[in-house]
Amino acid sequence: MFLNYCDFSIDTGYIYLSQGNFLKILRDSGLFDSKFTKNQLSLIISKEFTAPSNQIKNLTFDQFLNLTLRISEFKDPVKYKVNPKSVLLGLLNNHMMPLITCIEQAAEQNDELALSNLRSLYTVSDASLKTIVFDLEVRSIF
């Protein structure tokens, strides 16, 4: 999923996720609701990076993972304190995995319109989409 939304700098070889594309992931996966808004996300980003969210332009893969964990904590703080792994798995299974399924189906059908609706225009090649691994034992999508 990260590869589907990431950008690549030819000059530096740096792969990153712009904050705009991170918002697209959250929107496309249906994570925003009345409790979790863009304002809440800004607070989470500011806390995670100890900087105002408007100063954070790009996210590394590790930062993307950390923010996903922080969002799961925000979405269900009571359960998170008891079993953070369960809350994270719930977020992944209920929001991220359905998005990955849509991406994979669009890639298999070579549906460029559907793919462009699910990602930015500047992405890694469609062949890279096939490298997304979902490990059933670890239940990891990254």
Sheet of 7-8, strands arranged across: 7-8, 15-18, 58-59
pLDDT at 84 over 80: yes
Q: Are strands 15-18 and 58-59 parallel, antiparallel or unpaired?
A: antiparallel
Token pair listed for 92: 């992944």
- The per-residue pLDDT for 48 is 86
| Tens-place pLDDT, residues 14-38 | 888 888 899 999 999 999 999 899 9
**Distance between CA 101 and CA 83 in Å, rounded?**
26
| Helices (H) then strands (E): counts for the chain | 9, 3
Q: Distance between CA atoms of 109 and 138, rounded to whole angstroms? A: 28
Mean pLDDT of 4-19: 82
Amino acid, res. 4? N
